[in-house]
Amino acid sequence: MFKVLTSLLRQDKRFLFGFIVMVILLAGGALAGFSPHDPRLWSVVPRDLPPSSKYWLGTNSMGQDVFWQALWAIRNSLVMAVIAVVSSRIIAVAAGLLAGYRGGLIDRVLMTVTDSFVILPLLPILILITSIFKSRLSVTSLGILLGIFGWAWDARVIRSQVLSLREREFTYTAILSGMSTGRIIFREYMPFIFPLITATAMNNMLWAIGMEVTLAVLGLVSLEVPTLGTMIHWAVNSQAMLLGIWWWILTPVVLCVFIFLALYLLSLSINQFLDPRVRVQRLQEIKG
């Protein structure tokens, strides 16, 4: 895994850019714990001050330091996205591996459930659920909720890969040698599946953060918790642009753009790295 990472960092500038951006954002999120103010409190600093040496990104109309609010927003949004990714990967990997390897009735049942989640209108359903449980939706519970609805496409991708692996010679050799199903999946299949899981995880993180921003702007999540979405919500509701407090709304918007761009470039680079045709081309260039 380390060799793959170093190879991508050396050979792909898109991956390098995305990796650097995510490292900076993660470092910023880690620094949020050193904030001198509770991010949920109002009127802790003077209101509506422009960026300065004391307040790097200015202050907002709620009396909060935008810089520290942004760090907390990055931290909470990324934590929420990671929880969504982990929970959705568990469901997607379990469903994809089981359906692809077992086949038959199990495959048909699991794919029927998967297709049901694929065709569901997720945004209206999430709006309905979050409007009901709004006051009880923490960062963790929102991440789990998004994970429950964000696994179906990736389960189909994993299943298709397992179907291909199941027909290869090493699978028949492993079965004839008496290897158990669990050992076949984790020892033989997982090296092929893990890069695919990593690539789809980037897309899932992007989707989760985008969905959180959408729900927060609509006011359907806990607005006391600073996230990128809730920062935009309060800035829009307070008419920051009309009042000339551009730094308030510009900060979360720019952060969203960088996060989306970084995750997209990381996903694109990993997908291209995993493409068999690109691998063959790289081997030919090395031999040449």
Q: Which amino acid is at 136?
A: R
Whether residue 126 is contained in a domain is answered as yes
Whether residue 2 is contained in a domain is answered as no
Quote the pLDDT of residue 210: 94
| Greatest extent of the chain over all pairs of C-alpha atoms, in Å | 73
Whether residue 41 is contained in a domain is answered as no
211 vs 230: CA distance, rounded Å: 12
97 vs 103: CA distance, rounded Å: 10
The CATH number for 89's domain is 1.10.3720.10
Whether residue 38 is contained in a domain is answered as no
Tell me the residue range of the domain where 273 lies: 10-33+47-287
Whether residue 63 is contained in a domain is answered as yes
Whether residue 214 is contained in a domain is answered as yes
Whether residue 4 is contained in a domain is answered as no
Quote the pLDDT of residue 279: 54
Whether residue 39 is contained in a domain is answered as no
Quote the pLDDT of residue 240: 92
98 vs 108: CA distance, rounded Å: 11
For each successive 10 residues of the chain (288 residues), what is the average pLDDT? 67 87 94 88 92 93 94 95 95 90 88 90 91 83 93 91 84 80 80 83 92 92 90 93 92 95 89 64 50
Number of structural domains, the chain? 1
Quote the pLDDT of residue 271: 79
Considering the entire predicted model, what is its pTM?
Answer: 0.88
Q: Which amino acid is at 34?
A: F
